[in-house]
Structure 1
Amino acid sequence: MHLIKIAFLLSFLALSQKSQVQGAISSELDHHLRCLEVVTDAGALMIENSITAIKLLAECVGYQPKLTLNGSVLRFIRLAHQFAKKAIYDRPECLVQTFTTAVGLIRPIIAKFDSLRCFDD
């Protein structure tokens, strides 16, 4: 497994060298890397704000589960199901507010992604 990781790292470093990647592949690869950077920025922003969003959603919905430290995975899945059911059926406006906030967070990144024209051939 370690040999695969080392080979992947060395391959990536070889591709990263500007002198190695010239011509048509260079500009195309650079464009794809910029698009990938924008996507990872959006993912990082969503992950960074996910805990706060879930806490705010739980407060809005009024969900307070009884947590125990020795709970199983099945219990965690049940709690997540109860939370989702309460958010969707009882207080859908809280869910809409959470999604609206998330869209507002990534709107500048979406604009940057669109300006790069990543899906155009």
Structure 2
Amino acid sequence: MHLIKAAFFLSFLATCQWGQVQAVISSELNHYLRCLEVVTDAGALLIENSITAIRLLSDCVDFQPKIKPNGSIVRFIRLAHQFAKKAIYDKPECLVQMFTNTVALIRPIIAKFDSLMCFDE
């Protein structure tokens, strides 16, 4: 019988404090959701500009692939390897330029992320 009374008493205390608990949880959740929104904006921006960046990199490296429409996945992997090897070893300045452009593209988003202080908890 005492166990039931204690359970009711603790339940009553929990419902009295629920508003405060919910306010704390919702403000923290709102903060983390804003941080997550900034991260997803950065990811979307990178995905949106990835095709253009690869095209500019291939032009800078002067990579001319010979792709058949019926190529296998191994052929595409080999082609990607040749492209990466040419970009890294033959023209590394093109790769550095691509990364510099990428950093310049997401710099405002990084500033917004830093202003939210997402990792400063």
TM range (shorter): 0.7 to 0.9
Q: Does residue 94 of structure 1 match 2:86?
A: no
Cα-to-partner distance string for 1:91-113 (whole Å, 9 max, x where unaligned): 00000000000000000000000
Structure (1 or 2) with the greater helix fraction: 2
* Separation in 1, partners of 2:96, 2:56: 12
Aligned residue number for residue 54 of structure 1: 54
Unaligned runs of 5+ in 1: 1-18
Amino acid at match of 1:41: D
Percent of pairs with identical residues: 77
Residue identity in the other structure for 1:70:
N
| Equivalence for 2:41 | 41
| TM-score between the two structures when normalised by the length of structure 2 | 0.82
- Partner amino acid, structure 2, of 1:49: N
Tell me the amino acid that sits aligned with residue 22 of structure 1. Answer: Q
Summarize the alignment of residues 1-121 of structure 1 with structure 2, pairs less than 5 Å apart: 22-121=22-121
One-letter identity of the residue aligned with 2:98: T
The AA in structure 2 aligned to 1:88 is I
**Structure 2 CA distance for aligned equivalents of residues 115 and 68 of structure 1:** 48
How many Å separate the matches in 2 of 1:103 and 1:67?
31
1:44 and 1:68 mapped to 2: Cα distance?
A: 30
TM-score (norm: length of structure 1): 0.82
The one-letter amino acid of 1:27's match is S
The CA distance in 2 between the partners of 1:26 and 1:98, in whole Å, is: 40
Code of the residue aligned with 2:69 in structure 1: it is L
Q: How many residues align?
A: 102
How many Å apart are 1:22 and its aligned residue? 2.9
RMSD: 1.3
CA deviation string 1:4-50 (max 9, x = no partner):
xxxxxxxxxxxxxxx9x931101000000000000000000000000
Q: Which has the larger radius of gyration?
A: 2
Regions of 4+ moved over 2 Å: none
